[in-house]
Amino acid sequence: SITAGGWLGIAMPKAHGGSGLGVTEAALMMRRITQSGGGFTAASSVHINIFGPHPIVKFGSAEQQARMLPPLIRGDDRTCFGVTEPNAGLDTGAIETRAEWDGSHYVVHGQKHWTSAAQRANKIMLLARTAPRDASEKGTDGLSLFYTDLDRAHVEIHEIAKMGRKAVDSNALFIDGLKIPREDMIGEEGQGFHCILQGLNPERILIGAEAIGLGRAALAKATQYARERHVFGRPIGQNQSIQHPLAEAWAELEAANLMLFKAARLYDAGEPCGAEANAGKYLAADAAHKACERAVLTLGGMGYARE
């Protein structure tokens, strides 16, 4: 339904079938998805399609945008995002997957880890090394970004068993001789890290907004239960020890929401928003966790029931 309604193109240019709106509107949408009760399961299956292709919007040529964006918006193409590797998580500059130019193509060898949604993706946004790490001062130089076919003849995909978030698969990818044409490189060679950074701040903002929606859904459930559940002859919500923890969680949630939407406004205005996006996600995650925990406690034993 999200695809059929055109929502995947919310932050993509109108010229290519998108809505031409900003990260602010995308964050509102994602907040609504979790707030509806869908939680992170619902949000996770949507959000990679919103922030993942953002480097194409920011750095893709006119030809690349016209070729790559419409099938993504229509849902004909499904992408995954290959950055993390077994030996490189937070330290992105340490990635070892290499793309070597053979005169007609880049040829990729290496491994990716935790690649979400690869089971059903036919495209990958792939970060690979095109120059050795020690060739420049900054470890994050010499990385290049590609948006290309996930050709299973050259990529083995193994699902990682997880404890939760099962609606979206996570995978280990083994890449052996994947050929990528030059026209699938996004941005300049060696500047791939700077290109993905453009997708990371929107990702932080969207995930933070999703956390807010989740926290709001939890508080809505808890406050309703507190009104309806009678113990010792009156609603439990008449006790301040039920009210105050929920009120505190609400205040923290709404404060985090303000920080997140400040970050979104800055991003949409083309201004630096790294500090606000990071702070917003940090505050929102904590506030949502607290809201959920307090909601579970408010429900007493029923807080532990699947229902």
Ligand X SMILES: Cc1cc2nc3c(=O)[nH]c(=O)nc-3n(C[C@H](O)[C@H](O)[C@H](O)COP(=O)(O)OP(=O)(O)OC[C@H]3O[C@@H](n4cnc5c(N)ncnc54)[C@H](O)[C@@H]3O)c2cc1C
Rounded to a whole number of angstroms, the minimum distance from the CB of residue 281 to ligand X is 13
- Is-contact 267 201, C-beta < 8 A? yes
The number of residues in the chain equals: 307
Whole-angstrom Cα distance, residue 125 to residue 256?
30
How far is the C-alpha of 35 from the C-alpha of 51, rounded, in Å?
Answer: 20
Amino acid at 258: L
Q: Using the rule CB under 6 A, which residue among 109, 165, 221, 289 binds ligand X?
A: 165
If binding is defined by CB under 6 A, does position 305 make contact with ligand X?
no
For 69, the 3-state DSSP assignment is helix
Q: How far is the CB of 178 from ligand X (least distance, A)?
A: 16
* Two structure tokens written together for 297: 């406690």
Choosing from 65, 97, 115, 257, the residue that interacts with ligand X (CB under 6 A) is: 115
Q: How far is the CB of 248 from ligand X (least distance, A)?
A: 27
Say how many residues touch ligand X, by CB under 6 A.
11
- Read off the tokens for 183: 């026209």
Which residue, 161 or 305, is less far from ligand X as judged by CB?
A: 161
Of 84 and 257, nearer to ligand X (C-beta) is 84
Nearest of 172, 181, 186, 182 to residue 110 by alpha carbon: 172
Query: For residues 30 and 83, which CB has a smaller minimum distance to ligand X in the complex?
Result: 83
For tokens 């053979």, name the residue.
102
Site string for ligand X, 68-97 (x = CB under 6 A): -------------xxxx----xx-------
The answer to whether residue 140 forms part of the interface with ligand X (CB under 6 A) is no
Smallest separation (angstroms) from ligand X to the CB of 194: 16
